[in-house]
Amino acid sequence: QSVVTQPPSLSEAPGQGVTISCSGSKSNIGNNAVTWYQHLPGRAPKVVIYYDDELPSGVSDRFSASKSGSTASLAISGLQSEDEADYYCASWDESLNVYVFGTGTKVTVL
Amino acid sequence: QVQLQESGPGLVTPSQTLSLTCTVSGVAITGGDSYWTWVRQPAGKGLEWIGRFYTRGGTTFNPSLKSRVTISVDTSKNQLSLKLNSVTAADTALYYCATSDSGWYMDVWGQGTTVTVSS
């Protein structure tokens, strides 16, 4: 069981927005950079946010992220069918000395 | 353009050793300052970090797997390898190799290879 928790699922209508929370602790989210991965079935995971809030080249600016204390958040605005995927936050845990993924959130576009 | 391709036996017998290879193209594995990582995903479950090789600092493993895992590099073949011994059904998963110049994320991934542990 991961030490970083996310809501199992979120759903919203096309065009609307969702925010995924990622709750950890000082040893991971609180003190270290957070990455957000998008994982579509049958595809390799893809970085949509790195270094807490940085948007990689080529990723839609409908994705944004923030962090406060030991909780990180990923926001997706203007939902499109192509955004339907599993989303994982991840960070290094300096106490466990391991790279930890969050429990994952399945986003469904209604 | 860096590309990764995992390969290995799709079926492993319980208690035996799982051996996977990640063939790298587009860059020399030890040619720069980079991280080469293995990640797995059991069916219906989340992603789990197995460990990584850092070209400037050696290997780091998930403590939960550390006693059973070996990650190594074959520079002549430009391949990353994973060996996981004493496997059980719990090791059945989709295994990915991935890489990055940063220790904070993995931005290039292979397509993954499925391994089933069963007799």
Do β-strands A18-23 and A71-76 pair in parallel, antiparallel, or remain unpaired?
Answer: antiparallel
Note whether B11 contacts A: Cβ–Cβ < 8 A.
Answer: no
User: 3-state DSSP call for residue A26?
Assistant: helix
Mutate which: B6, B45, B47, B94, vs A, most A CBs within 10 A:
B47
Q: Is pLDDT of A68 > 80?
A: yes
Average pLDDT for chain A: 96
CA distance B89 to B12: 9
Q: What is the pLDDT of residues A78-106, one digit of tens each?
A: 999 999 999 999 999 999 999 999 999 99
What proportions of chain B, in percent to the nearest 5, are helix, strand and coil?
5, 50, 45
Average pLDDT rounded to a whole number, residues A46-59:
97
Q: What is the DSSP string of A77-107?
A: -S--GGG-EEEEEEEEETTTTEEEE---EEE
Whether A99 and chain B come into contact, CB under 8 Å, resolves to yes
Contact B107, A47 (CB under 8 A): yes
Report residues of chain B scoring pLDDT below 70: none
Mutate to test the interface with B, among A99, A101, A105, A106 (most CBs of B within 10 A): A99
Least CB–CB distance from A101: residue in B49, B52, B63 = B49
Residue B46 has its nearest CB partner, among A35, A88, A96, at: A88
What's the gap in Å between the CA of A42 and the closest CA on chain B?
8
Banded model confidence at residue A41, pLDDT cuts 50, 70, 90: confident
Between the alpha carbon of residue B85 and those of residues A4, B65, B71, B94, B96, the distances in Å are 27, 10, 12, 17, 17
For residue A79, what pLDDT is reported? 97
The answer, for A2 touching chain B at a CB cutoff of 8 Å, is yes
Q: In the beta sheet, which residues pair with residue B35? A: B54, B100
Are B104 and A51 within 8 A, CB to CB? Answer: yes
State the pLDDT at residue A42: 83
B52 at interface of A, judged by CB pairs closer than 8 A: yes
